[in-house]
Amino acid sequence: RRTAVLISGRGSNMVALIAAAAAPDFPAEIVLVLSNNPDAGGLATAEAAGIAAIGIDHRLFGKDRAAHEAEIDAALRAAGVEIICLAGYMRLLTPYLVSRWEGRMLNIHPSLLPDFKGLHTHERAIEAGVSEAGCTVHVVTEDLDAGPILAQARVAVLEGDTPDRLAERVLAEEHRLYPEALRQFALSLAD
Ligand code: GRF
């Protein structure tokens, strides 16, 4: 399955997906990395791995989100993409793009959804005093962080945890969970 990864930053989940997909029996192949931020560190990392990497700067489109997404959509279709993985993609997507990729777009979110949707998840988990945090891979729908859940991994919140320390342990689980969820999702697609 031809797969694109959408990033905005360092792209450590993207690296984990690329590494897993390099195995000959993996049912998805990373063919394109796209970023709304042309300076995203992950773009250079993807290029170094021999993967097509494109920055499509949202700032060039002003308030016209649909025009930005149309450009992304065109790049995805030109590359023959079948599955999209959002991995630290920090722009809210509008129904324009989401509806065009319905049932074909995954996201990883650093909390045990439905808890702690949105930003600053680790800080909020610690403040709430929960004993477990984690990460979730879900199918993207028009509501933020609310689509059908495919997989979760749990991490204990430790005494004296800071958001950074918790984030680091959750991130290690993300790197394991996302490739596994993509593998199962790619195998589950019928057509
Ligand atoms: C990850 O924690 C992801 O769950 C969140 O943003 C972070 C991206 O990290 N949405 P990276 O760019 O994959 O390193």
175 is catalytic: no
Mean confidence (pLDDT) of the chain: 98
CA distance 50 to 32: 10
Atom 2 in ligand 1: which residue has the minimum CA distance? Answer: 110
- The answer, yes or no, to whether residue 178 has pLDDT greater than 90, is yes
Tens-place pLDDT, residues 153-171: 999 999 999 999 999 999 9
Among residues 80, 81, 82, 87, which one has the least CA distance to residue 46?
A: 87
Q: Which atom of ligand 1 is nearest the CA belonging to 16? A: 13
- The answer, yes or no, to whether residue 4 has pLDDT greater than 90, is yes
Tens-place pLDDT, residues 85-135: 999 999 999 999 999 999 999 999 999 999 999 999 999 999 999 999 999
% helix, strand, coil for the chain, step of 5: 40, 20, 40
* ipTM computed for the complex: 0.98
In Å, how far from its chain's centre is CA 8?
Answer: 10
